[in-house]
């Protein structure tokens, strides 16, 4: 099908670059403000339709869409689209769940600050010619408790920002994740405790039958009279009549609402209430978020109309570099050396290993390679995608610290304000590390053992990164899986001590990476079967100004040709590579 035979209808305003991208392969019509019957009359003429939140695509509209192949929502939610009806007719539904994450989190914090410091009232008084300084005393955020209901992408971003203000953070979600147990100051609690203890409560759950009226009269009655409620999720998750009653009776101090059950909420008594800060569903409305959403759905439409994503043999894939995220720190010196080698050789020998998680590719092995490519300005990367965590085994490396006096090493670490270090029993320290949530323990060649924990009010990962950076920059470190200190002294005569880390789970690593945090370098060791080595893919293709789909087609042909010519060999047994 030629590009002129595709037709795309845009029903709500999206960023121009997304429209320009679609026009490369289709005729694009922009028709905003259509009512139900107007949309039903024309939907049958289009291959794809793009909406945001204003336009609804119910089953009736879908029944009239004889030609439609893709429905795209340039945003996160899909509650304005009858997804089941679309799927029953074989219509693909796509959205951009990551595009507005930071924008919504930032708006949530803006509303929180506006509530705490009474900014709208202060602004209004100034515009009325009043200097109401003594009447506008606010509350500080440091030491206050924020309750986050729903701890997905947006909830996690809100938590990171709230912690920067020194807030205690409580979270409630349907399925608690291991990440919650790793983050100091973020406590997983049930909904009742969260409502009772929080000074501010913010909602970040999707609109589903089980979340409708999630916050009603009973829940509002649990909140402190000084507490505030914030909603940037969906209007239906709050019983608006119950909230209005609670505000009128002084049951809670106030609310900040960006979403309403019925929108536009121009006649909403709740929006006009003196204790409510109201915004017209603009949490996701930043230039950055709208640009990302438009480009994301445009690329998905193009991929689907032109035949869908290309399946590359051996689970290899070309992916956008901005979707590739590390799970660990890298050594800048190794990155610099690899950048020089990549530019000299012009090929990518061993593709990084990654797992797709919430629209991003978390690098399990190959952080140095992806960082080098990113710093060299490559828009795309080749990764080998692990499709199931069941195929991954994770071990922890131990760090043999060398070329430093053991006494100096102990003092160096003990002086760090981010950690707490106590001498421990060698027989019980391993169990104590798990039970006490320790960072690690140090076993010196003098046979002394020290249990190391984060200092009070210090984030677990921040403490671990500070600790490892300190001894790596002051000594020489070799990675090992051997915990036998006597055997290691034979292997390393200059050994001072062994740092032993706990075992982590793959899910913990993914949760930390998705939250924008990283492990220290050289702790996680992923054991992955069927790795691809010596791919030797041309970096000129990766750097070329070509659509992602075309690069994946090139990669598929490149690997398929290697298969046909017998250049691929599978080794089932472990091997030693002496030229790495």
Q: Residue 277: phi, psi to the nearest 5? A: -95, 120
Give the Cα-Cα-Cα angle 56, 62, 65 (nearest 5 degrees).
120
Q: 263, 269, 358, 462: which is the annotated catalytic residue?
A: 263
End-to-end CA distance of the chain: 47
| Angle, CA 110 vertex, CA 109 and CA 112 arms, to 5° | 60
- Residue bearing tokens 């994503």: 309
91: left (phi > 0), else alpha (psi -120 to 50), else beta? beta
Q: What angle do CA 321, 323, 328 make, to 5 degrees?
A: 90
Contact status, residue 348 vs residue 342, Cβ threshold 8 Å: yes
The residue annotated as part of the active site, out of 73, 156, 281, 380, is 281
How are the residues of the chain apportioned to helix, strand and coil, as percentages rounded to the nearest 5?
Answer: 40, 20, 40
The Cα–Cα gap between 443 and 426 comes to: 8
Could you tell me the CA-to-CA distances from 495 to 60, 398, 430, 443, 447 in Å, in that order? 73, 13, 21, 11, 12
Residue 551: CB partners within 8 Å, gap ≥ 6?
Answer: 318, 380, 541, 542, 544
Q: Which of 153, 204, 234, 380 is catalytic?
A: 234
Question: What's the CA gap between 302 and 48, in Å, rounded?
Answer: 10
Q: Which residues pair with 544 in a beta bridge?
A: none
- Three-class DSSP category at 498: strand
CA distance 400 to 479: 6
Is the Cα dihedral 298, 299, 303, 309 positive or negative?
Answer: negative
Q: Which parts of 446-505 fold into alpha helices (H)?
A: 460-474, 485-491
- Assess contact for 88 and 71: CB atoms under 8 A: no
Instruction: Give the position of tokens 């679309």.
Output: 86
> Are the C-beta atoms of residues 346 and 544 closer than 8 Å to each other?
no
Burial letters for 95-131: b for 16+ Cβ neighbours within 10 Å, e otherwise? Answer: bbbbbbbbbbbbbbbbbbebbbbbbebbeebeeeeee
Contacts of 393 (CB under 8 A, 6+ apart): 526, 527, 528
Among 174, 177, 204, 176, which Cα is nearest to 100's?
204
Helix (H), strand (E) at residue 398: strand 398-402
Indicate if 281 belongs to the active site. yes
Residues 6+ away with beta carbon under 8 Å from 224: 196, 198, 199, 252
Q: What are phi and psi of 80, to 5 degrees?
A: -95, 10
Catalytic (active-site) positions: 234, 263, 281
């Amino acid at each position: 099908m030629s590009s002129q035979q595709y037709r795309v209808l845009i029903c709500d305003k999206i960023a121009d670059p997304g429209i320009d991208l679609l026009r490369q392969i289709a005729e694009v019509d922009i028709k905003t403000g259509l009512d139900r019957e107007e949309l039903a009359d024309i939907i049958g003429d289009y291959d794809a339709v793009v909406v945001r939140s204003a336009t609804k695509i119910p089953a009736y509209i879908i029944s009239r869409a004889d030609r439609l192949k893709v429905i795209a929502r340039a945003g996160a939610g899909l509650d304005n689209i009858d997804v089941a009806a679309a799927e029953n007719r074989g219509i693909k539904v796509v959205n951009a769940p990551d595009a507005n994450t930071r924008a919504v989190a930032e708006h949530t914090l803006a509303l929180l600050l506006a509530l705490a410091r009474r900014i709208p009232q202060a602004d209004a008084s100034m515009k009325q010619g009043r200097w109401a300084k003594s009447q506008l005393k606010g509350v500080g955020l440091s030491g206050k408790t924020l309750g986050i209901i729903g701890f997905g992408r947006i909830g996690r971003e809100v938590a990171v920002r709230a912690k920067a203000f020194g807030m205690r953070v409580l979270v409630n979600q349907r399925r608690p994740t291991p990440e919650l147990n790793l983050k100091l100051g973020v406590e997983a609690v049930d909904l009742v405790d969260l409502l009772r203890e929080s000074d501010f409560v913010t909602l970040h759950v999707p609109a589903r039958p089980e979340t409708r009226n999630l916050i009603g009269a009973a829940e509002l009655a649990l909140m402190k009279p000084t507490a505030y409620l914030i909603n940037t999720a969906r209007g239906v998750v709050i019983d608006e009549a119950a909230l209005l009653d609670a505000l009128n009776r002084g049951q809670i101090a106030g609310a900040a609402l960006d979403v309403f059950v019925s929108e536009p909420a121009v006649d909403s008594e709740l929006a006009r209430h003196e204790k409510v800060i109201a915004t017209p569903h603009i949490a996701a409305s930043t230039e950055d978020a709208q640009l990302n959403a438009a480009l994301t759905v445009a690329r998905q439409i193009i991929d689907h109309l032109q035949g869908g994503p290309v399946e590359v043999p051996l689970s290899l894939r070309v992916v956008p570099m901005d979707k590739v995220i590390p799970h660990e720190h890298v050594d800048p010196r190794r990155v610099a050396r690899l950048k020089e080698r990549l530019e000299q050789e012009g090929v990518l020998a061993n593709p990084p290993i990654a797992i797709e998680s919430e629209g991003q590719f978390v690098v399990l092995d190959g952080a140095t390679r992806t960082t080098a490519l990113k710093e060299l300005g490559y828009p795309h990367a080749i990764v080998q995608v692990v499709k199931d965590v069941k195929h991954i085994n994770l071990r922890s490396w131990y760090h043999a610290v060398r070329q430093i006096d053991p006494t100096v090493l102990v003092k160096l670490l003990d002086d760090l304000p981010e950690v707490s270090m106590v001498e421990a029993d060698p027989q019980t320290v391993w169990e104590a590390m798990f039970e006490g949530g320790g960072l690690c323990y140090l076993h010196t060649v003098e046979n002394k053992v020290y249990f190391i924990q984060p200092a009070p009010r210090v984030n677990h990962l921040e403490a671990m990164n500070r600790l490892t950076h300190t001894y790596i920059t002051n000594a020489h470190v070799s990675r090992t899986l051997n915990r036998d200190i006597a055997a290691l002294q034979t292997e390393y005569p200059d050994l001072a001590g062994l740092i032993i880390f706990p075992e982590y789970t793959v899910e913990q690593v993914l949760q930390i990476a998705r939250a924008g945090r990283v492990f220290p370098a050289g702790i996680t060791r992923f054991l992955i079967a069927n790795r691809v080595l010596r791919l030797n893919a041309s970096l000129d293709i990766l750097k070329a100004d070509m659509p992602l789909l075309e690069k994946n087609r090139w990669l598929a042909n490149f690997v398929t040709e290697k298969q046909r010519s017998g250049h691929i060999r599978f080794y089932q047994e472990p091997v030693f590579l002496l030229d790495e």
